[in-house]
Amino acid sequence: MALTSDEMNYLVYRYLLENGFTHAAFALGHESRVDGAKVAEGDEKIPPGALIAFTQKGLQYCEIEANLNDDGTDVDADFSILSAKD
Amino acid sequence: MALTSDEMNYLVYRYLLENGFTHAAFALGHESRVDGAKVAEGDEKIPPGALIAFTQKGLQYCEIEANLNDDGTDVDADFSILSAKD
Amino acid sequence: MALTSDEMNYLVYRYLLENGFTHAAFALGHESRVDGAKVAEGDEKIPPGALIAFTQKGLQYCEIEANLNDDGTDVDADFSILSAKD
Amino acid sequence: MALTSDEMNYLVYRYLLENGFTHAAFALGHESRVDGAKVAEGDEKIPPGALIAFTQKGLQYCEIEANLNDDGTDVDADFSILSAKD
């Protein structure tokens, strides 16, 4: 299952709105033409904080993968998004 | 490991830039005060498409969790971000 | 006496704010680096509607000039900013 | 002859575009719904720098009025938009 770019844009748009970045949300709304009707529908379905939740989960998953040795044992090391090296 | 809001904002900022949403990126840059110096550093470390990759992975992980029955067997059903019902 | 570009930008910035164009005002504030301190000072000195008032006066002046014949008599014709031909 | 708010918004929009304030122009374009078709038409008719020219002329006119004594003689004093005191 893959995210469409519309779905991705909408998740980002919701993130901007929910975090008070009103100018960025306004600009993205017009630049990406996030459809108003669809947005109204989606509002009910996507819980607040969705983008953060997915990103967080994806990051943990990456971390788990990065920390697994070939023999399946865990590696004791920190994982950072901004300086991912393990 | 948790994402800080600075890291999250920066991931979103990079997403906007990489996808040509220049007005939204400009606004977010000023609204979130994504630090210019840190951005310059981060540019080398964060690969393009990072936010999409993390979100996608997180979504797959959610899908796997949602599709697992209590007995650990997979459930045959579609999972959609915009109408998640399983 | 000539307007500096800072003064001009500030008049436009005030126009945007006063007319509820908050996103445009936000963007111009950052793009033109209208100085915050100066703005705070200027706020007291420049009356609301200044840009409209000056533009309106300038337009009337242009109209008068355009309608004057060489012999100084008035010309009976309309003058429009969007289709100025007389 | 009075400027309509559409004409005023369009003059400001042109000013923003001509002076490289692309983000502010983008935002104003959407906030004021400056009509695209009308803009295309107007482009040929309104000369570059129109807002500056009108404002400048209006300011000079104000200055002349402010500097005229009751007996019609000129007053020797500076006139400043940001600290108009005469």
Distance from CA of B85 to the nearest CA of D (A): 36
Distance from CA of C57 to the nearest CA of A (A): 33
Classified as helix, coil or strand, C74 is strand
Co-location of A53 and A34 in the same domain: no
Nearest CA in chain C to B33: C30
Q: What is the pLDDT of residue B39?
A: 65
Tens of pLDDT along chain B (86 residues) come to 678 898 899 999 999 999 999 999 999 999 998 866 666 666 667 889 999 999 999 988 888 887 776 666 665 555 555 544 33
Pick the more confident residue, C85 or D57. D57
User: For chain A, how many structural domains are there in total?
Assistant: 2
Co-location of B27 and B56 in the same domain: no
Chain-chain contact of A23 with D27 (C-beta, under 8 angstroms): yes
Co-location of C43 and C81 in the same domain: no
Q: Which chain D residues are Cβ-neighbours of A27 within 8 angstroms?
A: 23, 26-27
Co-location of B44 and B7 in the same domain: yes
Q: Give C32-35's long-range contacts (Cβ < 8 A, gap of 24+).
A: C32/C6, C32/D21, C32/D24, C34/C6, C34/C9, C34/C10, C35/C6
Co-location of A42 and A67 in the same domain: no
Task: Give the structural domain span for C66.
Answer: 52-86
Co-location of C22 and C35 in the same domain: yes
End-to-end CA distance of chain C: 27
Averaged over successive runs of 10 residues, the pLDDT of chain A (86 residues) comes to: 86 95 96 75 77 92 78 60 46
Looking at chain D, the whole-number percentage of residues with pLDDT higher than 90 is 41
Q: What is the pLDDT of residue B28?
A: 97
Q: What is the pLDDT of residue C45?
A: 76
Co-location of C17 and C38 in the same domain: yes
Classified as helix, coil or strand, D34 is coil
CA-to-CA distance for C26 and D5, rounded, in angstroms?
20
Q: What is the pLDDT of residue C28?
A: 97
Chain-chain contact of A26 with D27 (C-beta, under 8 angstroms): yes
Distance from CA of B25 to the nearest CA of C (A): 11
Co-location of B74 and B56 in the same domain: yes
Co-location of D36 and D75 in the same domain: no
pLDDT in tens, B55-73: 999 988 888 887 776 666 6
Co-location of A32 and A64 in the same domain: no
Co-location of C65 and C26 in the same domain: no
